[in-house]
Amino acid sequence: METMQAKDLYSFYGKSPVIQGVSFDLEPGEFLAILGRNGVGKTTLLKSIMGLTDRCDGGLIFGEQDLLSRSTSQRAKLGIAYIPQGREIIPNFTVRENIVMGTFARPDGKREIPDYLFEMFPILDEFIGRKGGDLSGGQQQQLAIARALAMDPKILILDEPTEGIQPNIVKQIEDAIIRLNRERGLGIILVEQNVPFARRASDRFMVLDKGRVVLSGLSKDLTDSVVEKHLTF
């Protein structure tokens, strides 16, 4: 399993640096929560890892691979799966077709849907022939996670996966993310506003402000005073 390392990472939209001097390590199977107020660069950091900003400088290594020299699709084939805000499922494709799309990033060429996805998200098995656009927001999020898992990733990157989702499904999604990390050994990078979930799920956290890391530590160090100082509005 590979370690991901960002060193003095800068990321730009046009000529403006949004991410400034960010460094972190993600060990194999580790869970990193990225926290911060709105507009501080959390989503941009995730997009930077996937090569979705205009330019990045600094260092970004996965195993022995230099990610900054690789395209978004090449990064996916190295085993990095990204679930953006808004989920971006294809509404006119069925649940099955959406999940199978995820397999196209597999380097081994396999197109089978892993059985454990339906054990983890039974509703997807029940609705396998329905169009993705007919699912509720929470069900679409489950579908987006399943599609990412179908590529057999080593790291799963999630951008506020429970935002705007009906409360009865939020805990299912949170528990699934924790299981993927603890039972299947997936590395997780999570942007999340829900501090109790981040505290419960993660090994380490990192707080961004104005594109810079202002605090990082173990999840047990994510105290109420830290939250009040850096995360309350």
pLDDT at 204 over 70: yes
pLDDT of residue 230: 83
Q: Are 123 and 146 in contact (CB under 8 A)?
A: no
> What integer is the mean pLDDT of 133-159?
96
Domain ranges of the chain: 4-85+153-230
Q: Given this structure, which CATH class describes domain 4-85+153-230?
A: alpha beta
Is 166 buried (19+), middle (13-18) or exposed (0-12) by CB count in 10 A? Answer: exposed
Question: Model-level pTM?
Answer: 0.95
* pLDDT digit string, tens, across residues 19-34: 999 999 999 999 999 9
Q: Provide the pLDDT confidence category of residue 86 given band limits of 50, 70 and 90.
A: confident
